[in-house]
Structures are given as C-alpha cells and as structure tokens.
Amino acid sequence: MKPRLRSSELYEEAQQHIVGGVNSPSRSFKAVGGGAPVFMERGQGAYLWDVDGNKYIDYLAAFGPIITGHAHPKVTEAIVRAARDGTLYGTATEHEIRLAKVLKEAIPSMDKVRFVNSGTEAVMTTIRVARAFTGRNKIIKFAGCYHGHADLVLVAAGSGPSTLGIPDSAGIPPSIASEVITVPFNELDGLRIALERWGDEVAAVMVEPIVGNFGMVMPKPGFLEGLCKMARDAGALVIYDEVISAFRFHYGSSQTFSAFSDQDAIRPDLTALGKIIGGGLPIGAYGGRADLMAMIAPLGPAYQAGTMAGNPASVLAGLACLEVLREPGAYERMEAMAVRLADGLQSSADRHGVPLTINRIVGAFSTHFCGHPVTNYEEAQGSDGERFARFFRLMLERGIYLAPSKYEAWFLTIAHTDADIDETLVATQESFREMAG
C-alpha cells in the first residue's frame, strides 16, 4: 500500500471549500479515529482505486446502492443512453412508467408510486401523506433506525417510550421534536406504552423492517406482525423505510421476504425506497395504498414536487440494475460469498480471542465488537467502537474498504469473487492477529 499522500493533500484542500471536507458526514473518518478520508478516483466491479493508485476490495458499495458492482456494463450503457438522449426534460417520460411497474410488481403493497431524488425525500413525504390522511401529527419511530435527515426523523429519545423526542441534531425546533416518539426496536412493550398514551394522536409508526443502520438486525419473530396490528388498532398507518432493505436480500422488499411467513400480517400502508432502485444514481421513491397516495398533488391536497424527480438517467440506471438483479442466482451468489466471509471472520476472531458478533442477512452483514447478541440499538451501542476503528484501519492498510463506522454493514455485490473473499480473509486474519498481539 502506497502512502496516501494525495488523499491527505486533497483533504486539506477540500476542508477549505467543502464543510468538513466531505459532502456527507458518514464519509468522514471521524468515527474511526479521524484524519484524512480516502479520496477515490475510480471504481470497477468490486474494486475501488484511490488517488494514490491503491486498489481496494470494496464492501461499502456506496452505503448500499452499488449491488451490481461499480460501472456494471448494463448500468453504464443505460446512463450513456440517458446522457445521449438528454438528461432532463421536465416532462413525463415512458421510462418512469416502466420503473413504477417493475417496483409495483416486486412490492405488492404499492398500488401507486411517486419518484423523488433521495431516501430522505421519500421518507419525508410518506410522513406528510400519513399526516394528511389521518389528520394526526405524531409519529412513532424506533431507536437507532435512520430515516434520512429530515427534521422529524432526526429525533431520538433514547429508549424510554414514555419520553417525547429530543433532537439528535441542532436546528430542530422543540415543537417538531415533540411530534416524535422513539421506542426500542424488537420489543413491543415500548410501542404498546407509547400507543396507550398517545395512540389517537399518532399518524404513523415508521420502521426499518430489517434494520441496516445499527448493524444488520432482523426483527424478532412476531415483532412486525405485532407492530402492524398495534398501529392499526390505534388508527395509525404503518410506514416501512426500505431504502436499504428493498432488493438487498432478494428481488423484492421485506414484505415479500421468505423469512416472514405471513405477508399479509406485515403489509405496510406506505413504503419508502431509494439506493438500489437508482443503480447508483440519485433516486428515491415512495408508494402505497391507492387511497393514501391519492392525497398527493396533483390529485390531493398534500404537496410534493421535484425538478429532478424521475429523471431519465436515474430511472434508466435503476431499471438496468433491477434487470441485472433478476438474473438467476444473483442473490444466491452474494449469499454464498457472505456466508464464507462471515464464517471466516468469526472463526478468525474467535481464534484470536477478539469478541465479535456478526449479524448476517443474505449478502450483507455487520460486525459488532462485543460478546453479546445485537438485536436493538442499545446492544449495538454497547459494542467497542475503538476496537472497530483499529480493525477498520488495519483492513484499510491491507486494501479492504469498509464503512468507516461500527454501525454500518458490509455489502457483498454480484461483482465480488471467491478470490476477493480469500484475499479479504487473509487480511482479516492478519488484522485480528495484530489486534490480539
């Protein structure tokens, strides 16, 4: 590995012009000991190359969207086609109908769809729809679930279901925070207490049905069923934030995932999408029951618009990406590699006496440095961030690019090969050996 001198230079320069030197805080290395983040220059398949000429096996996958690997030929071709035909018309296009139909086929609870530009926008608008439809203001969310950076969902309240929201960010008025109730994930008691107290004021219960933001965490059996029933009994809607989970574990959403047997019992009213459905270009989408979606302008009184929404480049890239994912064996291959990688990681950590909890779901997994299971945010918080930071750095020096946060997942793509897994496992063994020594 060559010293990352150019990355350091660019970081110095970036900080003079771009706040914090990065355009999203999750790209900074603050959570892994600070210093210059790596500036990348090129991506191809499962690899990234930095500005100093170093090659990395990439498990960040741009925080999820790059499931086909970088610069997949079919996605690239779609983007080139869009560039040639003009990238934006400010009119309707046939491409949008095609992507809407593809999404509706895969996610049966979406009678109608609307495209936006990011997961944040998608989530934000589902809340507006829920409020417009129910005439209620409050939402319930789960501690540690991330739903983008709109004011309302940047509120966490620890895990006490009886406290109202405390903003996680400056600049959020207490009046907004007071509309959010945060309860612990994977236990229904908190939700029950919150609904008993505020049930008739709650517009929606919002959840990542399979969590991707404090590690990968499956809902316990009965959790989603109970959540949906309790929300409905209180007259509140259920919103699934599937910005990470849709098309990540199989061709569809959580609602159609084979791990859940009673799909009707976990059917959401509204779903927010993003990431994978744009094939690496900016996109978001939300959809749901026709009567709820009819609340949105131009049909209904709830306003939502977007100059870039449904732009041909994002839509064509998304269509191409989803077509690639429909190829037989795509998810099975990602799963087989993730199993080998996660098993190898676990046994190498065990051998060196490093406590490690791996939560794997199909082709994605999280690594928490702790000796206890991780089923909720509190348990995830209890993992050792300093150990993770050390591991991150040791892996980086061996050409393995992980997300720079103990909470983020490792994502396999269809571009990873067995040889990549072998190389990663060698890096892992060396890293654990150094950590133990």
Catalytic residue among 11, 146, 377, 401: 146
Task: Single out the residue of 243, 316, 337, 421 in contact with ligand PLP (rule: CB under 6 A).
Answer: 243
Q: Which of 50, 52, 58, 241 is catalytic?
A: 241
Q: Is 244 near ligand PLP (CB under 6 A)?
A: yes
For the chain, the straight-line distance linking the first and the last C-alpha, in angstroms and rounded, comes to: 22
Q: Is 148 in the site for ligand PLP (CB under 6 A)?
A: yes
| Residue 241 appears among annotated catalytic residues | yes
Cβ 140 to ligand PLP, closest distance in Å?
Answer: 16
Q: Which x/- pattern over 356-385 shows residues binding ligand PLP (rule: CB under 6 A)?
A: ------------------------------
Q: Work out which of 126, 213, 366, 383 binds ligand PLP, going by CB under 6 A.
A: 213
- Is 420 one of the annotated active-site residues of the chain? no
Q: Which residue is at the shortest CB distance from ligand PLP?
A: 119
Residue 284 beta carbon to ligand PLP: minimum distance, rounded to whole angstroms = 6
Residue choice 39, 115, 142, 146 for contact with ligand PLP (CB under 6 A) = 146
Q: Is 275 a catalytic residue?
A: yes
Of 114, 131, 138, 147, the one binding ligand PLP (CB under 6 A) is 147
Q: Is 28 in the site for ligand PLP (CB under 6 A)?
A: no
> Among the candidate windows 67-75, 144-152, 302-310, 344-352, which touches ligand PLP by CB under 6 A?
144-152
Should residue 119 be labelled a site residue for ligand PLP when binding is judged by CB under 6 A? Answer: yes
**Interface region with ligand PLP, contact rule CB under 6 A, candidates 96-104, 143-151, 295-303, 316-324:** 143-151
Rounded Cα distance between 22 and 37, Å, is: 9
- Asked if 377 and 144 touch (Cβ cutoff 8 Å), the reply is yes
Q: How far is the CB of 147 from ligand PLP (least distance, A)?
A: 5
282/300 with CB nearer ligand PLP: 282
Tokens of 256: 């159609």
408 binds ligand PLP (CB under 6 A): no
Task: Given the residues 138, 141, 275, 406, select the one marked as catalytic.
Answer: 275
- Sheet of 410-411: strand order equals 357-361, 364-368, 410-411
For residue 311, state whether it binds ligand PLP (rule: CB under 6 A).
no
The smaller minimum CB distance to ligand PLP, of residues 216 and 421, is found at 216
Under the binding rule (CB under 6 A), the answer on residue 63 touching ligand PLP is yes
Residue 23: CB atoms within 10 A of its CB come to 9
Using CB under 6 A, pick the residue from 69, 184, 219, 274 that binds ligand PLP. Answer: 274
Name the site residues for ligand PLP (rule: CB under 6 A). 63, 118-120, 123, 146-148, 208, 212-213, 241, 243-244, 274, 284
The residues assigned a catalytic role are 146, 241, 275
